[in-house]
């Protein structure tokens, strides 16, 4: 959970930096490459998680035997 919070915070800060640079039309500097890379990596992880969830949903949540875990995933 702490890792997710840190990853989300990092992506948010990078998103804000990118939006700020675009809104203010500031000159590109090397730190922007880091922000774009952070955001790309974050979005890649979201795509994997989302596709895994959709795959599980299509197969059927009953595949998960633990009732508590199955309920939390379906929330």
Q: What percent of the chain has pLDDT over 90?
A: 27
- Please measure the distance between the N-terminal and C-terminal CA atoms of the chain and give it in whole angstroms: 17
Domains held by the chain: number: 1
Q: What is the dihedral of CA 60, 61, 63, 64, to 10 degrees?
A: 170
What pLDDT is stored for residue 1 in this prediction?
A: 66
Cα 62 to Cα 42: distance, rounded to the nearest angstrom: 29
Q: Which domain holds residue 16?
A: 2-74
Q: Tens of pLDDT along 39-62?
A: 898 888 888 888 888 888 888 888
Q: Tens of pLDDT along 57-70?
A: 888 888 888 889 88
How far from the centroid of its chain's Cα atoms is residue 19's Cα? Answer: 17
């Amino acid at each position: 959970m702490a890792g997710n919070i840190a990853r989300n915070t990092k992506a948010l800060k990078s998103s804000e930096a990118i939006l700020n640079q675009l809104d203010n039309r500031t000159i590109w500097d090397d730190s922007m490459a880091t922000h774009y890379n952070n955001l790309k990596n974050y979005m890649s992880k979201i795509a994997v998680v989302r596709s895994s969830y959709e795959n599980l949903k299509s197969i059927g949540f009953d595949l998960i035997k633990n009732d508590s875990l199955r309920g939390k995933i379906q929330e």
